[in-house]
């Protein structure tokens, strides 16, 4: 066992000499609040406690963007710090059945900071597959308003969770960097007692990554 551990350490130490080292990137795509429909159906929302008895509309999809930086130890292992804007979501409802104008709303802005390990499987010089996982810190900013009395309340919550992702990386000829297509799943986002979007989030993004060599 000791010989195996020594050989593994030596292997990764040698690989580190040839590491690509630091990289940065940015991406954009589509986000989906996976549990929003269940939260609305069970009336487990901030609007319910403010007297909104009839939910009329909501959206559970949003545009997203991300900023990232990382360090590649070798061709197979990297550590990455990401900030991801998970999206803007809103919901509308009435304070009484039969109203013709929306009288209540909830607006959500959600973001996540993640520190992830990235494990890469090179397929060729220009194409690779990778997976990532790590802890997250998510922030939800929520504004709940009722127009009947011209009243609003703002809340925010911070929660720990995890992110899991898979993706592909392509380095086209003559491009100073790589194009990544990545699917991520964030767990335990927000508080189901306060936000109708709380729970799981799924994201599909296209990212550009530049490596400092």
For the domain spanning 20-211, the CATH number is: 2.40.160.20
Buried b (16+ CB within 10 A) or exposed e, 24-37: ebebebebbbbbbe
Altogether, the residues listed in the chain come to a count of 213
Q: Would you list the domain boundaries of the chain?
A: 20-211
What per-residue confidence (pLDDT) applies to 136?
A: 96
What per-residue confidence (pLDDT) applies to 59?
A: 87
What per-residue confidence (pLDDT) applies to 78?
A: 96
Low-confidence stretches of the chain (pLDDT beneath 70): 1-20, 42-53, 95-102, 147-151, 192-194
Residues 104 and 95: beta-carbon distance below 8 Å: yes
**Stated pTM of the model:** 0.79
Between the two ends of the chain, the Cα-to-Cα distance in Å is 36
Pairing of strands 199-211, 21-33: antiparallel
Residues 208 and 27: beta-carbon distance below 8 Å: yes
Degrees, nearest 5: CA angle 163-19-204: 30
What per-residue confidence (pLDDT) applies to 7?
A: 43
75: which residues sit within 8 A by CB, 6+ positions away? Answer: 15, 18, 19, 120, 122
Beta bridge partners of 134: 163
Rounded mean pLDDT of the chain?
A: 82
pLDDT digits (tens, 9 = 90+) for 127-158: 999 999 999 999 988 887 776 656 677 778 88
What per-residue confidence (pLDDT) applies to 82?
A: 97
């Amino acid at each position: 066992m000791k010989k195996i551990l020594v050989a593994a350490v030596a292997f990764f130490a040698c690989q580190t000499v040839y590491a690509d080292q630091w990289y940065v990137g940015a991406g954009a795509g589509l986000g989906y609040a996976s549990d929003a429909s269940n939260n609305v159906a069970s009336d487990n929302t901030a609007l319910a406690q403010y007297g909104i008895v009839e939910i009329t509309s909501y959206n559970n999809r949003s545009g997203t963007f991300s900023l990232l930086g990382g360090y590649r130890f070798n061709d197979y292992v990297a550590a990455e710090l990401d900030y991801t804007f998970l999206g803007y979501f809103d919901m509308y409802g009435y304070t009484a059945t039969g109203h013709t104008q929306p009288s209540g709303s909830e607006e959500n802005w959600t973001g996540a900071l993640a520190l992830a390990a990235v494990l890469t499987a090179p397929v060729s010089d220009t194409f690779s597959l990778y997976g990532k996982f790590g802890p997250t810190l998510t922030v939800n900013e929520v504004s709940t308003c009722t127009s009947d009395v011209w009243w609003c309340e703002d809340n925010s919550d911070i929660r720990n969770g995890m992110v899991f992702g898979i993706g592909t990386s392509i380095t086209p000829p003559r491009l100073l960097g790589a194009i990544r297509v990545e699917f991520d799943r964030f767990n335990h986002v927000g508080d189901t007692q306060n936000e109708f979007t709380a729970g799981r989030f799924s994201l599909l993004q296209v990212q550009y990554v530049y490596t400092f060599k």
